Amino acid sequence: MTMITLALSKGRIFDETMPLLAAAGIEVLEDPETSRKLILPTNQPSVRVVMVRATDVPTYVQYGGADLGVTGKDTLIEHGGQGLFRPLDLNIAKCRVSVAVRSDFDYAHAVTQGSRLKVATKYTLIARDFFASKGVHVDLIKLYGSMELAPLTGMADAIVDLVSTGNTLKANHLVEVERIMDISSHLVVNQAALKLKQAPLRHIIDAFASAIRQD
């Protein structure tokens, strides 16, 4: 039996991948929110799901720890995409990467004045590219979470982070001043696995493709 391993992360990506898996006849048998198991069985003995940190999904697929995975475009850009075949934009877990500042910070003025901006983010590649294309000089401060705190504590002038509902920004008196890119999650497949396990992987890719919802 050829085992197929799918890497997912908890939360929206897991939840919104379930209907796509259902289209492939696959049902995950345990809930990652309540189970402490990292390998979840499915109704198909030859398919299992591994639960990893969102930022680790491309790495697991790149090195063959998983044959395929679902990951945000943001994560994929920061990873670099080496060794990954990227057949489908799944149009799920949609959000955007934006620049946000304290509501009392005059971002437009700082940019036109050519000031150096201190920018806190976990998306250093995306942020570096974006500000370079605008000709804005930035000092990037790498963080791993809760970026919103950086401008509030005076550590940074701006953040580059994901915005979905906008509630987190609002709750912390921050405002979105630039939209850098729209994000959705993509299916990524290990390039070697695609050759060695062609039939079962094709079945999953085709089922996902037929179940993608457009809006």
Residues that bind ligand PRP (CB under 6 A): 145-146, 148, 161-168
**Torsion region of 83: left, alpha or beta (phi above 0 gives left; psi -120 to 50 gives alpha):** left
Tokens (6 digits) for 13: 């990506």
Q: How far is the CB of 86 from ligand PRP (least distance, A)?
A: 23
Residue nearer to ligand PRP on the CB measure, 5 or 71: 71
Sequence-distant (≥ 6) Cβ neighbours of residue 15 within 8 angstroms: none
The Cα 185–Cα 55 span in angstroms is: 12
Residue nearer to ligand PRP on the CB measure, 82 or 165: 165
Q: How far is the CB of 29 from ligand PRP (least distance, A)?
A: 26
Q: How far is the CB of 44 from ligand PRP (least distance, A)?
A: 30
Residue nearer to ligand PRP on the CB measure, 145 or 154: 145
The Cα 9–Cα 209 span in angstroms is: 20
Q: Which residues is 41 bridged to in the sheet?
A: 48
Sequence-distant (≥ 6) Cβ neighbours of residue 190 within 8 angstroms: 61, 62, 64, 66, 67, 68, 83, 84, 85
Q: How far is the CB of 24 from ligand PRP (least distance, A)?
A: 27
Residue nearer to ligand PRP on the CB measure, 119 or 163: 163
